[in-house]
């Protein structure tokens, strides 16, 4: 079979992205991030969908041009159906439907979380190494934290997950408490490099099994700062790097501890990380260390595939294309779906 050319579209949150893949090979991946939310300290849904509407045509155009692909050569259009912000999803979903219908080509719906995990199968060249089944993936995005066992591309068993906040949410909240701006994850990562991770200690909760909980860590960070600020109003300014390093170590340490437990229990020899928080430099180096300690093959995504991007939607779409798993034109987007991984 000739390799299909898949145009993919991601618009679930605040990044408008389009990519073109030839089979599992990436030809282009264009991402337009929305700056408008910074001044509000978080994503404003209405502004996000308006920005998607402005971005979608030029972003798709750039993806096709960068790939050197004429739109009439596209075999199918893959789009993120959910979970995410409904107004944002609606822009990508509507565009994908219009594009596919105008060319008479199939549509493929993609679950955003499955796409993050499947980003490990994107090939950039002949040397690209992809995971073998079964493997474990720690999925850490802004809204989800899950340890998954993959038996095949779409067979993802949830071994553990957060019972409250996501790790990314906890990091963003810690940054907000320190007034570091949004999204706080990358800022904490950068400032932490000059800090002492043992300067302050924040306790992690004892949660049974492979599950996580991050809301207590966030609260203890908040109360700790409230007490210190009462003694010294400049406490945050004077200790910023140490605070960032300490809270980052606490959250990353917890993530890796449960990941190691799951690896031990399953005996699986390949481990991957995915989602926005997998861009974190401490998490990346700690997972590498875990790999050396337990003799595992470790898969750390390139930065461009950690945070939201359409290439991951394209690879998930490609595997569905091979199965002939196409979507109906009437399909609506969904904001939430079961444990996040279930398809609506
Ligand atoms: O996967 P993603 O781009 O969007 C969702 O699907 O939610 O993840 C966004 C999350 C945010 O919480 C952001 O702060 C976090 O990923 N993030 C990071 C880093 N880069 C992005 N967290 C820690 N360190 C980073 N370098
Ligand atoms: Zn995401």
Q: How confident is the model at residue 302 (pLDDT cuts 50, 70, 90)?
A: very high
How much distance in Å is there from the Cα of 231 to the middle of ligand 2?
A: 39
Residue 323, SS3? Answer: helix
pLDDT, residue 342, reads 58
Q: How confident is the model at residue 29 (pLDDT cuts 50, 70, 90)?
A: very high
Residues 6+ apart with CB under 8 A from 149: 134, 135, 136, 156, 157, 159, 262, 266, 268
pLDDT, residue 344, reads 38
Tens digits of per-residue pLDDT, 82-99? 999 999 999 999 999 999
Whole-number Å distance between alpha carbons of 184 and 181? 6
Q: Whose CA is nearest to atom 11 of ligand 1?
A: 142
Please tell me the number of the ligand nearest to residue 303's CA. 1
Query: How high is the mean pLDDT of the chain?
Result: 96
Please indicate whether residue 181, judged by its CB atom, sits closer than 6 Å to ligand 1: no
Closest CA relative to residue 252, chosen from 273, 238, 224: 273
Please indicate whether residue 186, judged by its CB atom, sits closer than 6 Å to ligand 1: yes
Alpha-helical regions (H) of the chain: 45-67, 86-103, 112-118, 167-177, 184-192, 215-231, 235-266, 281-294, 310-323
Q: How confident is the model at residue 39 (pLDDT cuts 50, 70, 90)?
A: confident
How much distance in Å is there from the Cα of 3 to the middle of ligand 1?
A: 32
Residues 6+ apart with CB under 8 A from 187: 175, 180, 181, 244
**Edge-to-edge strands of the sheet including 25-33?**
25-33, 15-22, 5-10, 76-82, 107-111
Residue 343, SS3? Answer: coil
Domains of the chain: 5-126+305-323 (3.30.420.40), 135-303 (3.30.420.40)
9: left (phi over 0), alpha (psi -120 to 50) or beta: beta
Q: List the structure tokens of 91.
A: 């822009």
Please indicate whether residue 317, judged by its CB atom, sits closer than 6 Å to ligand 1: no
Q: Whose CA is nearest to atom 10 of ligand 1?
A: 142
187: number of Cβ within 10 Å: 18
Taking the CA of residue 167 as reference, the ligand 1 atom at the shortest distance is: 12
Strand-strand pairing, 25-33 and 76-82: unpaired
Whole-number Å distance between alpha carbons of 224 and 220? 6
How much distance in Å is there from the Cα of 195 to the middle of ligand 1?
A: 20
Taking the CA of residue 12 as reference, the ligand 1 atom at the shortest distance is: 6
33: number of Cβ within 10 Å: 14
pLDDT, residue 13, reads 93
Strand-strand pairing, 270-274 and 135-140: parallel
158: number of Cβ within 10 Å: 17
Closest CA relative to residue 271, chosen from 282, 285, 287: 287
Question: What pTM was estimated for this model as a whole?
Answer: 0.96
Give the mean model confidence (pLDDT) for residues 293-320.
97
How much distance in Å is there from the Cα of 275 to the middle of ligand 2?
A: 6
pLDDT, residue 341, reads 77
Give the mean model confidence (pLDDT) for residues 5-33.
97
Q: Whose CA is nearest to atom 3 of ligand 1?
A: 307
**pLDDT at residue 313 is higher than 90:** yes
Please indicate whether residue 87, judged by its CB atom, sits closer than 6 Å to ligand 1: no
Tens digits of per-residue pLDDT, 133-157? 999 999 999 899 999 999 999 999 9
Closest CA relative to residue 269, chosen from 147, 146, 131, 158: 131
Facing residues of 6 across strands? 21, 76
Please indicate whether residue 142, judged by its CB atom, sits closer than 6 Å to ligand 1: yes
Residue 264 burial (10 A CB sphere; 0-12, 13-18, 19+)? exposed
Ligand 1 pocket test, candidate residues 195, 276, 303, 341, most atoms within 8 A of CB: 276
Could you tell me the maximum CA-CA distance found in the chain, to the nearest angstrom?
70
Closest CA relative to residue 178, chosen from 160, 195, 164: 195
Q: Whose CA is nearest to atom 16 of ligand 1?
A: 276
How much distance in Å is there from the Cα of 237 to the middle of ligand 1?
A: 24
């Amino acid at each position: 079979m000739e390799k299909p050319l898949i145009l993919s579209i991601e618009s679930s949150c605040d990044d408008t992205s389009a990519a073109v893949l030839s089979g599992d090979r990436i030809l282009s991946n264009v991402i337009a991030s929305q700056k408008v939310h910074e001044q509000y300290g978080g994503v404003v849904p209405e502004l996000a969908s308006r920005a998607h509407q402005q971005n979608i045509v030029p972003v798709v155009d750039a993806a096709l041009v960068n790939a050197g692909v004429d739109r009439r050569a596209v075999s199918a259009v893959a789009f993120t159906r959910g979970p995410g912000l409904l107004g944002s999803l609606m822009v990508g979903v509507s565009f994908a439907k219009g594009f596919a219908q105008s060319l008479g080509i199939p549509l493929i719906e993609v679950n955003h979380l499955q796409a993050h995990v499947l980003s490990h199968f994107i090939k950039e060249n002949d040397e690209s190494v992809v995971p073998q089944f079964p493997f474990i993936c720690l999925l850490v995005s802004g809204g989800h934290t899950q340890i998954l066992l993959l038996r095949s591309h779409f067979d993802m068993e949830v071994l553990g997950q957060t019972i409250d906040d996501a790790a990314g949410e906890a990091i963003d909240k810690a940054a907000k408490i320190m007034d570091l701006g949004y999204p706080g994850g990358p800022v904490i990562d950068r400032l932490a490099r000059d800090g002492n991770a043992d300067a302050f200690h924040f306790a992690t909760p004892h949660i049974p099994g492979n599950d996580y909980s991050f809301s207590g860590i966030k609260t203890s960070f908040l109360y700790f700062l409230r007490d210190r600020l009462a003694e010294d109003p400049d406490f945050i300014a004077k200790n910023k790097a140490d605070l960032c390093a300490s809270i980052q170590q606490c959250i990353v340490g917890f993530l890796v501890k449960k990941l190691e437990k799951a690896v031990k229990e399953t005996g699986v020899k390949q481990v991957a990380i995915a989602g926005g928080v997998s861009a974190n430099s401490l998490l990346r180096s700690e997972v590498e260390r875990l790999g050396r300690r337990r003799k595992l093959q470790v898969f750390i995504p390139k930065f461009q595939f950690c945070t939201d991007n359409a290439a991951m939607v394209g690879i998930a779409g490609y595997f569905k294309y091979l199965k002939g798993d196409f979507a109906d034109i009437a399909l609506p987007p969904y904001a939430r779906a079961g444990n996040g991984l279930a398809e609506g």
